[in-house]
Structure 1
Amino acid sequence: MRKAKRAEIKTQDTINRYLRDLEKLSGGDPDLARAILDQSIANTYTGLFALKSSPNRTVNSSASNDPFADSGTWSVGRKLNIAPSLIPEYLR
């Protein structure tokens, strides 16, 4: 992706800098480092950034009052009863 964006890594110093950044962001955890790299590749980033959905992030206090703040886990195991006439024919 970096080549497509014309942002190739051209020097060993740049590689070393990215490796240091990856070490800092992951705290030395190889699984987290792999997840950071996967995120950068999937989102076509030209740099390395902390994971957007870090499992250790704190919950916003205002969001804790929101019944939908749990990323949709409230719906697990529930069924929706929708009249078939409301569903478009091509989705039935």
Structure 2
Amino acid sequence: MSLVLAQIPRGCVITYGDLASMAGYPRAARLAGQTLRKLPRDTRLPWHRVINAQGRISLPEPGAQRQIARLEREGITLVNGRVDLVRYRWRP
């Protein structure tokens, strides 16, 4: 999954399900989440570009605020707590 994660372009997001499918594990969104949760805190992989299928941040605080801040620095805006998947979703 790390190879797929590294390819997500700046200013784009994917869902946990997208990540799993692109990595060859269709219908394994939870596995994708578990994999991201195990990443070291100082990872350079763009973990913050992965959100849930409703366009929401799934992390508890304070991780959610860190993720939102990183997304906003890349120009991704949240409206009512959601990312517009039609606008920002990466489809390689």
Select the structure with the greater relative contact order (CA < 8 A; seq sep ≥ 6): 2
TM-score, normalized by the shorter chain, greater than 0.5 = no
Larger CA Rg, structure 1 vs 2: 1
- Name the TM tier (shorter chain): under 0.3
Q: TM-score, normalised by structure 2?
A: 0.25
Higher strand proportion: 2
